Amino acid sequence: MSGAPGAVVVTERSESAAVTALSRELGVPLTERVGRGIRLTGAGRAAREAAGRPGHVRVSAVTTAGEYVLPPILAAFLRQQRDLQVTIEVGNRADVLAKLLNEQADLALGGRPPVGAAIEGEPFLDNPLVLVGRPDHPLGSRRSFDPRLLSGETWLLREPGSGTRKATEELIAANGVEPGSIMNVGSNGAIKRAVELGLGVTMISQDAVGEELAAGQLALLRARGTPLRRSWYVLSRKDAPLPGSAQLFLAFLRSPATASMRARWSDPSRSLGRAGSESDPRPPFDAGSPANLAW
Ligand code: PGA
């Protein structure tokens, strides 16, 4: 590429000299060394935004949020913000927090408020966790039963490190439930299928099972104390100003648009509603696929 006729060759050395000169002129460092690499400082990121380059939002999300919560929100956001680029990373809680702390993500989505002083979190949506079993589970028709009736069942748990798993373990311990056995299954999709086929019961975000509950593929198990009331949190680093593009996304998460879309994909009574149809004239949230999204 550098040999193409007319190409301007920018060597690493000349580029880094230019950055050093600019940093000196501005009186603030624009880059800093991290191990053997280099990254933008807060001032560097601000300079990038101010330079008018297309904004880029980097979001890191825990698995359930990345699978079920982010896609419809992003689709709507990117239809409003066609000049923005978004990159999504999905991982377990430890990965997600590390990405944020290492400045590899501007914002993160997680299921629990953060611990420690470096990260702040703000709840932006409810995240009820529901107990579910196979469609003909005998407790599916009971209104409010003692969770200990689920002793002896096989409980399907997500992998260690999952927030859903931790909440389930706490529910089991707090209620004196004695599972017949525990089966570790490292994916929400695999867990849903296994429960549907009668392999056991599970606790899972309602966001992940709204469609299956509405379609009767899974039964809601209304044990006392459930659904567990939790929230989805948007997390950010306390010590770094958010780039303008990330601020736009944060504002979108806080807006009523996010809350109203969410009612459609999560609430079992509404998720079979045909958005965009005569009876529900609201536009479907999944219309079209934005080009400015990288996973
Ligand atoms: P998980 O996270 O998908 O990793 O379980 C969700 C949560 O923390 O609620």
Determine the distance separating the centroid of ligand 1 and the alpha carbon of 292, expressed in angstroms: 26
DSSP string, 25-55: HHTS-SEEEETTEEEE-HHHHHHHHHTTPPP
Tens-digit pLDDT profile for residues 67-107: 999 999 999 999 999 889 999 999 988 889 999 999 999 99
Ligand 1 nearest-atom number relative to CA 110: 8
Residue 272 has pLDDT above 50, yes or no: no
Cis peptide before 241 (omega within 30 of 0): no
Beta pairing class for 231-237 and 107-110: antiparallel
pLDDT confidence bin for 15, thresholds 50/70/90? low
Q: Which atom of ligand 1 is nearest to the CA of 67?
A: 3
Phi, psi of 170 (to 5 degrees): -65, -40
Ligand 1, CB within 6 Å, residue ranges: 62-64, 92-93, 110-112, 158, 162-164
| Nearest protein Cα to ligand 1, atom 4 | 162
Phi, psi of 129 (to 5 degrees): -105, 125
Report how far ligand 1's centroid is from the alpha carbon of 74 (Å).
Answer: 19
Nearest CA to ligand 1 atom 9: 111
CA–CA distance, 203 with 157 (Å, rounded to integer): 8
45-65, pLDDT tens digit by residue?
A: 666 655 544 589 999 999 999
In one-letter notation, the amino acid at residue 59 is: V
pLDDT in tens, 173-182: 999 999 999 9
Which atom of ligand 1 is nearest the CA belonging to 63?
3
Which mutation among 60, 62, 233 tests ligand 1's pocket best, with the greatest number of atoms within 8 A of CB? 62
- Are 48 and 76 within 8 A, CB to CB? no
Q: What whole-number distance in Å separates Cα of residue 216 and Cα of residue 102?
A: 43
Using CA atoms, how far apart are residues 270 and 272, in angstroms rounded to an integer? 5
Q: How many residues does the chain have?
A: 295
Please tell me the distance between residue 61's alpha carbon and the centre of ligand 1 in angstroms. 9
Q: Rounded distance, CA 221 to CA 6, Å?
A: 68
Ligand 1 atom with the shortest distance to the CA of 165: 5
CA–centroid distance, residue 120 to ligand 1 (Å): 18
Residue 285 pLDDT class (50, 70, 90 cuts): very low
Cα of 47 vs centre of ligand 1, distance in Å, is: 35
261 CB-contact burial (10 Å; exposed 0-12 / middle 13-18 / buried 19+): buried
Tell the residue nearest (CA) to atom 2 of ligand 1: 163
Q: Which two tokens stand for residue 149?
A: 């009736």
- Is the pLDDT at 11 greater than 60? The verdict is no
Strand partners, 59: 88, 107
Confidence of residue 188 (pLDDT cuts 50, 70, 90): very high
- Quote the ligand 1 centre to 89 CA distance (angstroms): 14
Give the residue with greater pLDDT, 124 vs 31.
124
Q: How far is the CA of 65 from the centre of ligand 1 (A)?
A: 7
Q: What separation in Å is there between the alpha carbon of 211 and the centre of ligand 1?
A: 19
Structure tokens at 293: 């999204």
